[in-house]
Amino acid sequence: MSFQAYIDNIKAKTGKSPADFKKLAEEKAFIIDGKLNPAIKATTVTHWLKETFDLGHGHAMAIYATFKGKTE
């Protein structure tokens, strides 16, 4: 599955884009000044995405990758 397919599936399931998730992550202080908070581990973010949005591990990692500045 391509990265874009992951993003498309996430949007279809949750109604949220990577930008929407980034705003929510900023509210939780996972992202500060547009960058990942160095005190927050990837597992913290992926657990939040899995528990709150019922994403699978691969899909949660795709959103985390967008937080790190990977292609959207």
Residue 72 lies in a domain: no
Work out the mean pLDDT of the chain and round it to a whole number: 94
- Look-up of token digits 């993003």: 7
**Overall number of domains in the chain:** 1
Residue 32 lies in a domain: yes
Q: Is 6 helix (H, G, I), strand (E, B) or coil?
A: helix
Residue 46 lies in a domain: yes
- Where in the sequence is the domain holding 41, given as residue range(s)? 3-67
Residue 43 lies in a domain: yes
For residues 2 and 53, give the distance between their C-alpha atoms in angstroms, rounded to a whole number. 21
Q: What is the pTM of this model?
A: 0.91
Residue 35 lies in a domain: yes
Residue 22 lies in a domain: yes
**24 strand-pairing partners:** none
Residue 63 lies in a domain: yes
Write out pLDDT tens, residues 12-39.
999 999 999 999 999 999 999 999 999 9
